[in-house]
């Protein structure tokens, strides 16, 4: 008998869309270097530029403003590195506007890079978030100074799904003369994104979160913004990112976005319903649960929930034995001793963070999948609580 | 997908799926000795209770509860099996390494999840001695101060090693030991290496 498998960890990564897979298999024949002048090169160049057009129009940008990168992490690293290049000709260094502000709930590729820049002497400040994960706008207003070069706040959070009011934040940042970057890796392809309406200067996106391949991302850079490459040594991407273009990855990203344009709206409606059903069922069937993240301004595919007295890695692994894949904010699953920095930043107790799981659904999930999870999850929690010291104490107190 | 290869050993999986000797709420007061260690804030807490054959000083039953991850659950389950029939003396000296070996190995970063079981067991054995008027039998885990300036003990060094510390620099960062006069460096390094050997040596 084939074991039932339900994948609900789409914020970690997504399976390839069948159409993407088809396009990539066909595209494997395309070996030419897009920089070559002969027919092989020209053929590859056309593919790359067509894809650039697709990416640009998806976020309402100009194709010239799109840089292909090796990942979302690389795009984020690139943006931060601009303000810490410390070369003689750097405009930000000359102007003395090289300080950075970001939030405490960013992806590690922003937070670790920020910490590294701090070690190099760059001033980095961190915005607080409220209990739903929304950044403190008032604090932002006070934090920006004439030395602030960049503010970077993610559009949608990968762990709790909270969506920030990017338009408001960007307006405040621009009012004070700084530049604004948003890591939109979890947002692009899940919610409509328009770089003009939002008025952002930099935006990061990634293919593998939207049913495309790993190893390809893109960075939007608004026209006229002084730029400094992270990877040097080639004229590719207008000299902004050296390295022969990843044609096969770019084909995958192109097709993934094409499919998002067709499917996004319909899928969001479906997932919205799934999330509501799931949330209601968890509330009804399992006592002592807490939902994490914003109740309404949140990705419709993401549900983050904490179970009192149950530890997250154990929940994850018992669900895995049932064929269900989710993730957890518990330290035990990460190899470190600290639970989710995102949940701690929202003011959650360490216990609530240790006992959290993230369910992130996607296009191939069905209502049967949701029902299967609803059937198994209460049993798993009951089993864990049955041997938990933390849950027994609570019952006793009542 | 490739053939499923579980994240930890098969033995660990077995005990995770069917944990042995879980303490039921109705039996919560039926014991001769009880130990609770850890803290849920740190992500794990362990309670262990034992029943003792007073004539032979052997453990006849051992039950437990935990707020912990898969490794904590499985290692305590296997420990509770191991110590049944053991004398109190012998059970007291079961080490996390013995447990890890029985489980078919544990990844390094999971060792600290498994140490709670034997800690709770020792607490339960001491509790038994106390209840039965044998305080002289209690082996207190006396901590010895290694770093006089920052008041850091050998127990803290052992704890740091269990949490992943491997170098003197890391040890300093973790415990602040040796950050004032620095006289304790040699002894601290020696102890750290001893504990690495004790818990992680092959």
User: Quick check: A314 and B69 CB within 8 A?
Assistant: yes
- Please, which pLDDT band fits residue A393 given cuts at 50, 70 and 90? low
Task: Provide mean pLDDT across the span B133-162.
Answer: 82
Least confident of A183-192, B103-112, B149-158: B103-112
Task: Provide mean pLDDT across the span A129-136.
Answer: 98
- Please, which pLDDT band fits residue B95 given cuts at 50, 70 and 90? confident
Task: Provide mean pLDDT across the span A371-393.
Answer: 92
Residue A395 has pLDDT above 70, yes or no: no
Comparing CB atoms, the residue among B23, B65, B70 nearest residue A314 is B70
User: Quick check: A337 and B163 CB within 8 A?
Assistant: yes
- Cβ pair A118, A85 in contact under 8 A: no
Chain B residues inside the 8 Å CB shell of A309: 67
Residue B77, pLDDT score: 95
Find the residue in A nearest to B109 (Cα): A335
- Cβ pair A33, A244 in contact under 8 A: yes
Q: Which residue has the higher pLDDT, A111 or A390?
A: A111
- Tell me what the pLDDT averaged over chain B comes to: 87
Residue A94 has pLDDT above 90, yes or no: no
- Cβ pair B49, B63 in contact under 8 A: yes
Residue B142 has pLDDT above 80, yes or no: no
- Cβ pair B160, B175 in contact under 8 A: yes
Residue A283, pLDDT score: 97
Task: Provide mean pLDDT across the span A267-280.
Answer: 97
Least confident of A232-241, A282-291, B175-184: B175-184
Each residue of B161-179: b (16+ CB within 10 Å) or e?
A: bbebbeebeebbebbebbe
Residue A340, pLDDT score: 93
- Cβ pair A133, A162 in contact under 8 A: yes
Pairing assessment for the beta strands A356-360 and A327-328 based on DSSP bridges: antiparallel
Residue B162, pLDDT score: 86
Q: What is the pLDDT of residues A304-316, one digit of tens each?
A: 999 999 999 999 9
Residue A362 has pLDDT above 80, yes or no: yes
Pairing assessment for the beta strands B44-53 and B58-67 based on DSSP bridges: antiparallel
Predicted TM-score (pTM) of the model is 0.89
Residue A114, pLDDT score: 95
- Cβ pair B57, B92 in contact under 8 A: no
Domains and CATH numbers, chain B: 10-137 (3.90.1010.10), 145-200 (1.10.10.1100)
Residue A188 has pLDDT above 90, yes or no: yes
User: Quick check: B43 and A331 CB within 8 A?
Assistant: yes
Residue A398 has pLDDT above 50, yes or no: no
- The secondary structure element, H or E, covering residue A163 is none
Chain B residues inside the 8 Å CB shell of A348: none
Active site residue B113: yes
Measured in angstroms, the CA of A381 and the nearest CA of chain B are apart by: 12
Domains and CATH numbers, chain A: 6-14+264-388 (3.90.1150.10), 18-259 (3.40.640.10)
Using a CB–CB cut-off of 8 Å, the residues of A that contact B are 309-314, 317-318, 321, 330-333, 335-337, 339, 349-351, 354, 386-392, 395
Residue B143 has pLDDT above 80, yes or no: no
Residue A297 has pLDDT above 50, yes or no: yes
Q: What is the ipTM of this complex?
A: 0.85
- Cβ pair A311, A384 in contact under 8 A: yes
Least confident of A159-163, A270-274, A281-285, B89-93: B89-93
Residue B146 has pLDDT above 50, yes or no: yes
Residue A397, pLDDT score: 47
Residue A394 has pLDDT above 60, yes or no: no
Kindly tell me the sign of the dihedral angle through the C-alpha atoms of A5, A7, A13, A14.
Answer: positive
């Amino acid at each position: 008998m084939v074991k039932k498998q339900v994948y609900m960890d789409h914020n970690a990564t997504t399976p390839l869309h069948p159409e993407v897979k088809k396009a990539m298999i066909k595209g494997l024949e395309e070996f030419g270097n897009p920089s070559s002048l002969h027919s092989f090169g020209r053929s590859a160049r056309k593919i790359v530029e067509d894809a650039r057009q697709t990416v640009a129009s998806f976020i309402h940008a100009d194709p010239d403003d799109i840089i292909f990168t090796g990942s979302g992490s690389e795009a984020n690293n690139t943006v931060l590195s601009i303000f810490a290049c410390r070369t003689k000709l750097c405009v930000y260094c000359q102007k003395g506007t090289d300080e950075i502000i970001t939030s405490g709930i960013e992806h590690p590729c922003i937070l670790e890079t920020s910490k590294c820049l701090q070690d190099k002497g760059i001033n980095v400040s961190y915005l607080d978030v409220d209990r739903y994960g929304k950044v403190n706008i008032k604090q932002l207003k006070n934090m920006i100074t004439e030395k602030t070069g960049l503010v970077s706040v993610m559009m949608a959070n990968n762990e709790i799904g909270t969506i920030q009011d990017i338009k408001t934040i960007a307006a405040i940042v621009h009012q004070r003369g700084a530049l604004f970057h948003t890591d939109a890796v979890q947002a692009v392809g899940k919610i409509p994104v328009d770089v003009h309406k939002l008025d952002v200067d930099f935006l990061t996106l990634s293919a593998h979160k939207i049913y495309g391949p790993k190893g390809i991302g893109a960075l939007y850079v608004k026209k006229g913004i002084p730029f400094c490459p992270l990877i040097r040594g080639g004229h590719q991407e207008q000299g902004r990112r050296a390295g022969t273009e990843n044609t096969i990855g770019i084909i995958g990203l192109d097709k993934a976005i094409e499919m998002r344009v067709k499917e996004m709206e319909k899928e969001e409606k479906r997932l919205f319903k799934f999330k509501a059903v799931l949330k209601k069922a968890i509330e009804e069937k399992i006592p002592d649960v807490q939902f994490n993240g914003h109740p309404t301004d949140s990705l419709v595919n993401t549900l983050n929930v904490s179970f009192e007295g149950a530890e997250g890695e154990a929940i994850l692994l018992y669900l895995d034995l049932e064929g269900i894949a989710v993730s957890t904010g518990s330290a035990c699953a990460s190899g470190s001793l600290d639970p989710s920095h995102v949940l701690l930043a929202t003011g959650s107790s360490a216990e609530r963070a240790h006992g959290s799981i993230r369910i992130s659904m996607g296009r191939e999930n069905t209502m049967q999948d949701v029902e299967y999870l609803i059937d198994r999850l209460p049993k798993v929690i009951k089993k864990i609580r049955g041997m938990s010291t933390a849950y027994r104490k609570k019952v006793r107190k009542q | 997908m490739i053939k499923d290869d579980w994240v930890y050993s098969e033995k660990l999986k077995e005990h995770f799926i069917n944990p042995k000797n879980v303490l039921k709420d109705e039996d919560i007061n039926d014991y001769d000795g009880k130990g609770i260690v850890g803290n849920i804030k740190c992500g794990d807490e362990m309670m262990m209770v034992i029943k003792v054959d007073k004539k032979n000083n052997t453990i006849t039953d051992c039950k437990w509860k935990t707020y912990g991850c898969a490794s904590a659950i499985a290692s305590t389950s296997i420990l509770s099996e191991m110590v049944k029939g053991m004398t109190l003396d012998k059970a007291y000296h079961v080490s996390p390494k013995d447990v890890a070996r029985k489980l078919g190995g544990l990844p390094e970063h999971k060792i600290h999840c498994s140490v709670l079981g034997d800690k709770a067991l020792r607490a339960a054995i001491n509790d038994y001695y106390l209840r039965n008027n044998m305080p002289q039998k209690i082996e207190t885990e006396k901590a010895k101060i290694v770093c006089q300036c920052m008041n850091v003990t050998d127990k803290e060094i052992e704890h740091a090693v269990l949490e992943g510390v491997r170098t003197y620099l890391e040890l300093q960062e973790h415990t602040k030991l040796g950050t004032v006069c620095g006289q304790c460096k040699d002894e601290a390094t020696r102890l750290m290496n001893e504990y690495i050997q004790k818990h992680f040596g092959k």
